[in-house]
């Protein structure tokens, strides 16, 4: 949604072709049809808080088995070993590959939890109509949206190993059940970030400014 003081009135931006159009004055929140590409356009993301909360709860539920179940099984010279995310990081550190272990630790453990906590805090602040540091909260949302996709590093590593290592009992890598839950966590947190409307952070401030102007 864009607001232009030169033209006045509410505006909406198409999420597909980025065309900015004026919303009707009588029903500014009604969905529009983009005249250029035909996509559905809303001034605000519909049911933003409810959808974000649902995705976060689902991600939190999936995060538990994602860390409890192994994400891959590696076979080397007839010996099989199953690794969870944490045990895989510990193995990388034990093998001297601490840079790779640090990357996997940050991308697969720290980032998902940070996204869930940050988005949960943003949703709670909007529901409480908090006026605390809106610029910092908006910056937090931008950071979450930017770094969220890096959580897929662990999934990419497992996928590459599965595709490349096929030597029977000599060397083989298989995907385990935990990888499915972890991929679900990544997708759900991305959907949660996409569903949250950061403009909600500023609504309470704009309402107060409107009351001050009227008084």
pLDDT at 215 over 80: no
The average pLDDT across 190-209 equals 84
- Summarize pLDDT for 60-70 with one digit per residue, the tens: 999 999 889 98
> Considering the entire predicted model, what is its pTM?
0.79
The domains of the chain are located at: 1-43, 48-203
pLDDT at 100 over 70: yes
What tokens does 90 get?
């510990």
48-203 to CATH, choices 1.20.140, 3.40.1000, 2.60.40, 1.10.3470: 1.20.140
pLDDT value, residue 43 = 75
CA–CA separation, 138 vs 140, rounded Å? 5
Mean pLDDT of the chain: 79
Give the CA-trace dihedral at 112, 59, 189, 198, to 10 degrees: -110
CA-based nearest residue to 61, from 119, 125, 116, 5? 116
Residue 168 has a pLDDT of 61
More confident residue, 197 or 215: 197
Q: What is the pLDDT of residue 25?
A: 65
Q: Which of 4-8, 125-129, 179-183 has the lowest mean pLDDT?
A: 4-8
- H or E stretch including 177? helix 177-195
């Amino acid at each position: 949604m864009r607001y232009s003081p030169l033209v006045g009135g509410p505006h909406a931006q198409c999420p597909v072709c980025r065309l900015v159009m004026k919303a009707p004055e009588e029903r500014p929140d009604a969905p529009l049809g983009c005249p250029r590409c035909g996509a559905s356009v809303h001034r605000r993301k519909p049911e933003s808080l409810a959808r974000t909360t649902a995705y976060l709860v689902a991600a939190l539920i999936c995060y538990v088995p994602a860390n409890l179940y192994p994400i891959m099984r590696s076979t080397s010279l007839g010996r099989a070993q199953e690794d969870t995310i944490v045990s895989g990081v510990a193995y990388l550190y034990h093998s001297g590959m601490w840079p790779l272990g640090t990357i996997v630790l940050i991308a697969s453990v720290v980032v998902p939890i940070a996204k869930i906590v940050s988005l949960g805090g943003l949703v709670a602040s909007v529901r409480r109509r908090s006026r605390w540091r809106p610029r910092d909260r908006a910056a937090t949302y931008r950071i979450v949206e930017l770094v969220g996709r890096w959580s897929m590093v662990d999934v990419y590593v497992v996928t590459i190993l599965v595709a490349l290592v096929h030597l029977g009992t000599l060397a083989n890598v298989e995907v385990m059940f935990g990888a499915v839950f972890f991929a679900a966590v990544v997708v759900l947190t991305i959907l949660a970030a996409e569903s949250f409307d950061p403009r909600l952070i500023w609504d309470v401030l704009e309402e107060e400014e409107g009351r001050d102007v009227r008084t």
